[in-house]
Amino acid sequence: MKPVRTLLTALILGGSIGLAVPASAEMAFGNRADTELATSLWALMEYKGLVGEGAVMTRPYKGMPPHGMILELIEMPVSLQGHTGPLIVKRNYGGDGISVDDVINDPGRYLQAVTVMLKREPGYDPDNHDWFYVKYDARGRVMKNPKGVPLAGRVAKGMQTGCIACHGTASGDDFVFNHDRYK
Ligand code: HEC
C-alpha cells in the first residue's frame, strides 16, 4: 500500500474503533479521551454525592490562591474504567469578602470551580505519580486554558506552571499538599 493510503487507512481505522489519532495521542492533556474521562468522572461524582445538587457538605476552610478564598476537600476511592484509585475533590469558592459561613449557608452561590485529582493505573504518567487532573466549572463543564485546551488529563505536563509543576513541589513527593498518604 502507498504511504498516503496507509496513513488514511490508519486514520479511518483508528477513528472507527475510537483510538486517538497520532497527533492527539501525543498531547499530554485536553484530548478527547481526557475530556471523556472527565465527563464520566463528573457523572460518577454526582452519583456519589460529591458534586451537584444536594452534594455532601463538609466544614469549609480559608484557602489561598490559586485555589480560592474558601475551600472544601473530600477524598474517597472510586472505580472508573476498570481501575480503582483515590479521588481528591476540592471545591473552590470565591466572591467579594466571603466568609466560611456565607459558603456553608449558600454554597451554590459561591462555587467557582471544582478541581480534582484521580490516581490512575500505574504507567499513566509514571514521572508524576499517575495523577489525572481536571478543573471543572460549577456546573461540571471542563474549563479551558487561555489557548482553549481543556484542563483534563496530565495537565500542563512538561510546562513550568500549572497543576503538575506546582503539585510536584508538595512535600512527601506525592503531588498532594494536604497530606503524605500516597508517598
Ligand atoms: C501554583 C500552585 C498550584 C497550581 C498551579 C495548582 N494547585 Fe492544586 N493545590 C495547590 C496547593 C498549595 C494546595 C493545597 C492548599 C489548598 O488547599 O489550597 C492544592 C490542593 C489541591 C488539591 C487537593 C489535594 C492536595 O494537593 O492537597 C487538588 C485536588 C488540586 N489542588 C487540584 C489542582 C488542579 C486540578 C490543578 C490544575 C488545574 C491545580 N491543583 C493547580 C497549589 C496549586
The pLDDT tens digits for 3-41 are: 445 444 444 444 444 444 444 446 899 999 999 999 999
**Residues within 6 Å of ligand 1 by CB:** 63-64, 66-67, 71, 73, 88, 90, 115-117, 133-135, 151, 155, 162-163, 166-167, 170, 176-178
8 or 127: which leads in pLDDT: 127
Range from 62-66, 91-95, 153-157 carrying the lowest mean pLDDT: 62-66
Of all protein residues, whose CA lies closest to atom 22 belonging to ligand 1?
Answer: 90
Q: Give the pLDDT score at 113.
A: 97
Q: What is the residue range of 149's domain? A: 18-173
115 inside domain: yes
Which three three-digit cell numbers place residue 156? 500542563
Q: Give the number of the atom of ligand 1 that is nearest the alpha carbon of residue 65.
A: 18
Q: What is the pLDDT of residues 81-96, one digit of tens each?
A: 999 999 999 999 999 9
The count of structural domains within the chain is: 1
Percent of the chain's residues with pLDDT above 70: 86
Q: Is residue 56 part of a domain?
A: yes
Q: What is the mean pLDDT of residues 149-166?
A: 97
State residue 18's pLDDT score.
Answer: 42
Q: What is the pTM of this model?
A: 0.88
pLDDT for residue 26:
62
Q: Report the DSSP pairing between strands 83-93 and 70-80.
A: antiparallel
Does residue 30 lie within any of the structural domains? yes
Residue 13 located in a structural domain: no
Long-range CB contact pairs, 57-66, < 8 A, 24+ = 57/104, 57/107, 59/100, 59/104, 60/91, 60/93, 60/100, 60/103, 60/104, 60/107, 61/100, 62/100, 63/92, 66/166
Residue 7's pLDDT is 46
Q: Quick check: is 9 in a domain?
A: no
166: CA distance to ligand 1 center in Å?
A: 8
Closest ligand 1 atom, CA of 90?
A: 29
> Ligand 1, closest atom to CA 71?
17
116/133 Cα distance (integer angstroms): 6
Is position 8 within any domain?
no
